[in-house]
Amino acid sequence: MRINLKKAFFDDREFVLVETEKMKAVAFRFSTGVEALRIENTKGYIVVLPFKGQQIWRACFLGRELVMGTSFKEPVPTKEYLKTYGGFLLHCGATAMGSPGKGDSHPQHGELPNADYDSAYLECGEDYMEIGGCVEYNVSFVKHYAFSPVCRLGADATLIKVDAVLENLRHRPLEYMYLCHINFNTLKNSELIYSADYKNITVHKSAWDDIPPEQAEKLLSFMDRLEEKPELHHKTGATGETYDPEILFTIHGYKGDERGFAHTMQYSSEGAYYAAHAVDTMPCAIRWIARSEDEDSTAMVLPATAEPFGYTYAKEHGQIKVLAPLDSVKFSVEVGWLDKKDAEKMKEKIEHIN
């Protein structure tokens, strides 16, 4: 069964759209006016913003909140990236992506993260629910594309499956960039385990201009140590560790399994935060760690088509992708929580891939 969503369905009071034996879909509106749909299953819930970027705003399984520590408790009706930055999963792109560099005029991470969607729907199956939608971008003589993400949650699942299709609607090639921004919080006493060689990591050494000199010196000093021993960042609590305001990494050469999916975990004795991504369409992987009193995120893998330094940088480094006329490409990820047993199995699988 599919329900085409309308903004009229969403009110300040919660409204149950659909309820099955194991799942429930609840429509509501944040106090900021942003529409949201909470999908509940036997293990937890996700909150999706169907008309605002199709963001997964929150995810919670087995009582564990997955989203980064953030000052944004509710989404804000703005298209400015950092003025509503608190979601768990955001789609970035597609005409450009990343922080705009010299020569760039695009907004941070492109037009997709907070795009107003033309349509959205809720689909209910026997043992799943999914939210999807479509936004169309059309500039005459320039670019015309449709972006259609789908987020699916099973009745007993602690993993979310997300597919997004980018379709070129012009009879000319389409240059594109894409990044899936997955913002986990930091799992205490955890270790990063992933299907790539840690020796193939680039630490992007820079400090924000507006931070105090002592803080900048400490940050750059830790970056120097990470450059020599990248594995220092695998575990929380390294001597001299600091990620205030942030450290950015590029992970080269992620390896896929028999399905072509790469794997990343924040692994602990209790279980693991987990992400898998298709390496054929997202060959570049970014890691972003920020730990301060205001933001706390171990964004252990941001699957992407390019590094996040804007269009001009990507063009100069051969990272821009091109979609043939009237062609399409699909980006696929799986994210969520693995219990202790499944985390152990995934650890063995990653070790086998490596």
What is d(CA 50, CA 121) in angstroms, rounded to the nearest whole number?
8
pLDDT, residue 16, reads 96
Low-confidence ranges of the chain (pLDDT < 70): none
pLDDT, residue 238, reads 81
Decide: residue 307, CB within 10 A, 0-12 exposed, 13-18 middle, 19+ buried: buried
What is d(CA 283, CA 210) in angstroms, rounded to the nearest whole number?
33
- Which residues sit opposite 16 in a β-bridge? 26
pLDDT, residue 239, reads 80
Residue among 90, 110, 89, 91 at smallest CA distance from 99 = 110
The pLDDT tens digits of the residues spanning 135-182 come to 999 999 999 999 999 999 999 999 999 999 999 999 999 999 999 999
pLDDT, residue 250, reads 97
- Copy the structure tokens of residue 306: 């390019």
pTM given for the model: 0.97
Through-space distance between the first and last CA atoms of the chain, rounded to whole angstroms: 42
Query: What is the helix (H) or strand (E) element at residue 342, kind and residue range?
Result: helix 340-353
Look-up of token digits 């043939």: 324
- The helix/strand count (H/E) of the chain reads as 3, 22
The pLDDT tens digits of the residues spanning 219-248 come to 999 999 999 999 999 998 888 899 999 999
